[in-house]
Structure 1
Amino acid sequence: MYCDLKSVHRGVKRLSTQMHDRYRTEKKMAKKLRHEELCLNGQEFDITAMDSAVRENRSENSKMIKLITGLSREFIELKNQNRRAEELSRWEAWVRGRIPNHLRFQEEPFIHTAPVLRADNPYVM
């Protein structure tokens, strides 16, 4: 299977930047919400709200890390497949160059086939 590594790499980079932008946006929104909650509560520090926000950010971060790791692993696998395909192509070209011309394009000998008489034909005995 031949894959275009540049397009795969572009796709991985694009997904990575999109995930990073999403992560930053969600982090900013969570920070604003926490700040608004603290202001509404009238307390300067609400430990439970901060703790839940930290847990939420950690879980989201771990999900993104798993996704990036999976994409990276897939990219490396595709790169290795492409490298193996290129090696095979070079090897095939080398082998073709080593075969003498008189052996390269031999055709199969013609085999004459006689028509077979069918058993359902009333004229066949």
Structure 2
Amino acid sequence: MAPDAGPTARLTSAMLVGALRRRVAAAGGFATVIVKGDEISGVILIQTLEKGELSGLFERVSNFAGGHALLRCGPDVGEGVQAIDAYLARRRRSDPDLWVVELDIPQAERFAVETLC
């Protein structure tokens, strides 16, 4: 019988957001924490932009296989910034531990997937 290795260590939300911000900055982009959530286990939402233009909203979710995935969430970008802002406000009211991070860099979704998943 193999010895119990104990609980699996996992990176905190704050560590993941910090790593994502550093990677984006190192590649010449901008990463800003719009709303700071729970340091340990807050859900992370990523708002992506390219040259200042909103391109998507994504949420880091469990893939139920021990890992994570990044899924598009919220209203369609075509509905405008007001719809996105209203969605984020609703999410914050229901989950005050939520992180909202804005990335302005080409292929922002790729950076988020590579860092958070």
Identify the TM-score tier after normalising by the shorter chain: under 0.3
Q: In proportion to residue count, which structure has more strand? A: 2
- For normalisation by structure 2, the TM-score amounts to 0.26
Q: In proportion to residue count, which structure has more helix? A: 1
Larger Rg: 1
